[in-house]
Amino acid sequence: MGQSGQTKKQVHLNVFIRGAGHHAGAWKHPLANPKSDLELEHYAELARIAERGLLDSLFMADNYSGLGRRLEPFTLLSALAALTKHIGFIATVSTTYNDPFHVARKFASLDHISKGRAAWNIVTGHSQADADNFGKPGHPELTKRYDIGDEFVEVTKQLWDSWEEDALVYDRETDTTIDSGKVHEINFKGSYYSVKGPLNIPRPPQGYPVLVQAGSSESGKELAAKTAEVIFTAQQTLGAAQEFYTDVKSRLAKYGRTPDQLLIMPGLGPIVADTEAEAKDLEDELNSLVDTKKSLKRLSNYFDVDLSEYPLDAPVPVDRAKPYGTVKGGITSRHEVVIDAAIRDNMTIRQFLSRSYGGHGHVTFTGSVIQVADFIEKWLNEGGADGFNLLPAIYPSGLETFVDKVIPELQNRGIFRTAYEGSTLRENLGLARPENGHKQVWALRREAN
């Protein structure tokens, strides 16, 4: 399967870290540690396994409300940076409930601490509950959130660019550490932000941390085409993934960008074992640990009927799905993704439940090592993905199995690295280091003075 010779497309792999694992029943499984959510050593072990497998990066989700047990991303990822050498770190930070100066400073710090391995997953906020926790009068509607987010990212980039590359001089003879003529106010004034600058830390080693975006709504796709270098997305069928891939890549040209400047990485929840039968046994075991009634109640939120009133082997009543955009809370585009998959795959309610258990709306795949590698290679070569954001069912065993068995198979096929290509996350992702966006402005300002 796949292309021949030295022109084979290379798959990029990121792993989404969390406590016991991504399957809804993982925390009950004997192989999991259900109390690991707040333990640094747990995440350190995942980082070491992922780095052993030469994965590109670790991804950490975040929000500002609910009863989650998530550590704060900058705190955890800074600690992990000290324990690793190569793997990247993607922190989720909202543009609606933060300020550009703080975010620019924190990401510059993480990039310096990790020697160029930081990335920012740009999100616009989750729900009204987030607004309540920040004393805001209301959660902005979608279009406004993306307008705010667009300006927020621009301010942040300008703050990173407020330091020229050679502003640090450490000249003992002149008793000078910083060339103040190469550190600049940005004096940004926009619709939402007014920021003087400069930033109080030098430009990040990568220029900018890698910019990641996770929205699949129309506004999200447009922001990704304009700004993002990696997009995390959720498609449950190859057909839907191909349509999304083509759509987003086709938007890049109007922003002066080329398709290789944006990597598209759908989420993938793999359950893998030496044989398909063993993998399915593990899936069945995990599914048996989930409360079906609670899951049906949660999934019924997508419909104007109660799914528990239907037989489990009946077709998903897609004709009773609520109109897209009307479901409150959660990720705006996820409603469309899960209903689209139910239609494309003619799912029964039982299948719909099983898919929801393992991947939070992302595609799941259960099979042997060879079958999982086939799945990845097919999506890679048929225009569905540049890589995957992995969601192992159980931690750490699910990640260990993938690293120790699937990675060698991908390497044998010539579609995954056998060593890290560079020292920064950008280099390992094949992304260029951005020049200072104000380089010419700063040069003209010096000439004028």
Instruction: Show me where the domains of the chain are located.
Output: 9-273+362-448
pLDDT, one tens digit per residue, over 115-149 is 999 999 999 987 899 999 999 999 999 899 999 99
Per-residue pLDDT at 275? 98
- Residue closest to 240 by CA, chosen among 321, 348, 337, 364: 337
Work out the number of other CB atoms within 10 angstroms of the CB of residue 135.
6
- Across 251-350, the runs of DSSP E, i.e. the strands, are 263-273
> What sign does the dihedral 44-284-377-263 (CA atoms) show?
negative
Assess whether pLDDT exceeds 50 at residue 4: no
Q: Report the alpha-carbon distance of residue 425 to residue 421 in Å, rounded.
A: 10
pLDDT, one tens digit per residue, over 419-430 is 999 999 999 999
Assess whether pLDDT exceeds 90 at residue 446: no
Assess whether pLDDT exceeds 80 at residue 331: no
Q: What is the topology classification, in CATH, of domain 9-273+362-448?
A: TIM Barrel (3.20.20)
Mean pLDDT of the chain: 93
Assess whether pLDDT exceeds 90 at residue 14: yes
The lowest-confidence range among 41-45, 95-99, 114-118, 141-145 is 141-145
**Tokens 């020049």, residue?**
435
Q: What is the dihedral of CA 191, 196, 200, 205, to 10 degrees?
A: 50
- By percentage, how much of the chain surpasses pLDDT 70? 96
Q: Is the peptide bond before 202 cis (omega within 30 degrees of 0)?
A: no
Which residues are paired to 14 by β-bridges? 57, 389
- Residue closest to 218 by CA, chosen among 247, 241, 242, 192: 247
pLDDT, one tens digit per residue, over 65-89 is 988 788 999 999 999 999 999 999 9
The lowest-confidence range among 30-34, 259-263, 403-407 is 30-34
> SS3 for 29?
coil
Spatial neighbors of 45 by CB under 8 A, at least 6 apart, are 396
Work out the number of other CB atoms within 10 angstroms of the CB of residue 181.
12
Q: Report the alpha-carbon distance of residue 187 to residue 124 in Å, rounded.
A: 24
What does pTM read for this prediction?
0.92
Q: Report the alpha-carbon distance of residue 211 to residue 231 in Å, rounded.
A: 9
The lowest-confidence range among 69-78, 153-162, 339-348 is 339-348
How far is the CA of 198 from the CAs of 109, 170, 181, 323, 364, in angstroms? 15, 19, 12, 46, 45
